[in-house]
Amino acid sequence: MSKTPITVAYGDGIGPEIMDATLNILDAAGAQLDIETIEIGEKVYLRGGTTGLEENAWDSLRRTKVFLKAPITTPQGGGYKSLNVTIRKALGLYANVRPAVAYYPFVETKHPNMDVVIIRENEEDLYAGIEHRQTEQVYQCLKLITQPGSEKVIRYAFEYARSYGRKKVTCFVKDNIMKLTDGIFHRMFDEIGKEYPDIEKETWIVDIGAAKLANSPEEFDVIVMPNLYGDIMSDIAAQISGSVGLGGSANIGDQCAMFEAVHGSAPPLAGKNLANPSGLLLAAVMMLQHIGQPEVASRVHNAWLKTIEDGIHTFDIYREGISKQQVGTKEFAKAVIDRL
């Protein structure tokens, strides 16, 4: 098999450790990758960049079109733009796919049967970055929702559901208040949904949907929603499934795709061989599927599952009586490799 070029960034905080662990596992599993490394994050910001990305990073990303990204730290204060948002927009990554699965009884959770995929619109909404100080005391931010943007992510959600054999797609909006912006998202959901008669459809007002998600996530399957709701709901889902440390995500565009953990760079844990590499590893599994190496993806995923089921756990999911052995980042990676 010829090698697939991908771009990799080690990021900040726990980034380098979990990326090392992930790449070691992919390598041992026989992933055919031609890796280009770029520098992003804190150091680049502090060197004077506003976006946290070296200039030549774009060349690499536009060439490989596949980005495996570790979490980064945005320096405090100053007018630093979110690197995540910059990349999502620059590369047109319109759909952010975030599965949240319970691994009960191996990982403690109050929601043993949950298995939900949140698909979040990833370029529009309040993330458009249009914000003003109108008068001395009045501030405004524009929530922008377009019909084509809504259509694209909604269609992606239905196609995703179909190709992964999922039964239901739910839409979260607040169109009792935002009749135009959330209204168009809801309308596109109803319209595009008609093309998928095989898939069950439902819509919840976001506050009620959020309450249901937090209380009985097992009632959901795929959920599609505008950007900011998706940001909030995907963190809730990851956390209540067991740990944000287990959440991987795919940011999908027409040309490019980016794969990353749902969690952040966790500076207090950095350099201590403590961090759970699972989020980034599961993102890498999604990447392997995306670049057409599904057998390697399955091999990694199964070995990871076996590790979790064998009770070999990093501190964040370690529980007396459930876990067998508490391990560090490196030992966890080795345990996965041993099970490939």
Ligand X SMILES: CC(C)[C@H](C(=O)O)[C@@H](O)C(=O)O
Q: Which residues bind a copy of itself (CB under 8 A)?
A: 74, 79, 82, 85, 110, 126-127, 129, 131-133, 136-148, 174, 176-181, 183-184, 206-208, 210-215, 228-229, 231-232, 234-236, 238-240, 244
Taking the C-alpha atoms of residue 314 and residue 331, their distance in angstroms, rounded to an integer, is: 9
Q: Which does 131 bind (CB under 5 to 8 A by kind): a copy of itself, ligand X, none?
A: a copy of itself
Nearer to ligand X, 192 or 283 (CB): 283
Nearest to 222 by CA among 312, 324, 115: 115
CB of 182 to ligand X, least distance (A): 12
Q: Which does 137 bind (CB under 5 to 8 A by kind): ligand X, a copy of itself, none?
A: a copy of itself
User: Is residue 277 a contact partner of residue 21, using CB atoms and an 8 Å limit?
Assistant: yes
Distance, CA of 110 to chain centre? 22
User: Is residue 68 a contact partner of residue 287, using CB atoms and an 8 Å limit?
Assistant: yes
CB of 181 to a copy of itself, least distance (A): 4
Helix (H) / strand (E) element for 326: namely strand 325-326
CB of 297 to ligand X, least distance (A): 22
Nearer to ligand X, 84 or 307 (CB): 84
CB of 32 to ligand X, least distance (A): 28
CB of 187 to a copy of itself, least distance (A): 11
Nearer to a copy of itself, 207 or 295 (CB): 207
Which tokens hold the place of 78? 């100053």
CB of 168 to a copy of itself, least distance (A): 20
Strand partners for 7: 36, 67
Question: Residue 242 contacts by C-beta under 8 Å, 6 or more apart in sequence?
Answer: 102, 103, 104, 107, 108, 109, 317
Nearer to a copy of itself, 60 or 150 (CB): 150
Nearer to a copy of itself, 193 or 247 (CB): 247
DSSP conformational letter for 71:
-
- String of DSSP letters for 299-315: HHHHHHHHHHHTTEE-T
Q: Which does 12 bind (CB under 5 to 8 A by kind): ligand X, a copy of itself, none?
A: none
Packing angle between helix 15-28 and helix 278-290, nearest 10 degrees?
A: 50
CB of 22 to ligand X, least distance (A): 18
Helix (H) / strand (E) element for 235: namely helix 227-241
CB of 80 to ligand X, least distance (A): 11
Q: Which does 108 bind (CB under 5 to 8 A by kind): ligand X, a copy of itself, none?
A: none
Nearest to 123 by CA among 164, 99, 151: 151
List residues binding ligand X (CB under 6 A). 82, 84-85, 176-177, 207, 231
Nearest to 10 by CA among 41, 33, 46, 34: 41
Q: Which does 211 bind (CB under 5 to 8 A by kind): ligand X, a copy of itself, none?
A: a copy of itself
The dihedral through the CA atoms of 262, 266, 271, 274 has a sign that is negative
Using DSSP, state whether 58 is helix, strand or coil. Answer: helix
Nearer to ligand X, 264 or 311 (CB): 264
Nearer to a copy of itself, 179 or 272 (CB): 179
CA 22, 44, 279 angle in degrees (round to 5)? 25
Q: Which does 236 bind (CB under 5 to 8 A by kind): ligand X, a copy of itself, none?
A: a copy of itself
Taking the C-alpha atoms of residue 17 and residue 71, their distance in angstroms, rounded to an integer, is: 11
Q: Which does 139 bind (CB under 5 to 8 A by kind): a copy of itself, ligand X, none?
A: a copy of itself
- Residue nearest ligand X, CB atom distance: 82
Nearer to a copy of itself, 28 or 214 (CB): 214
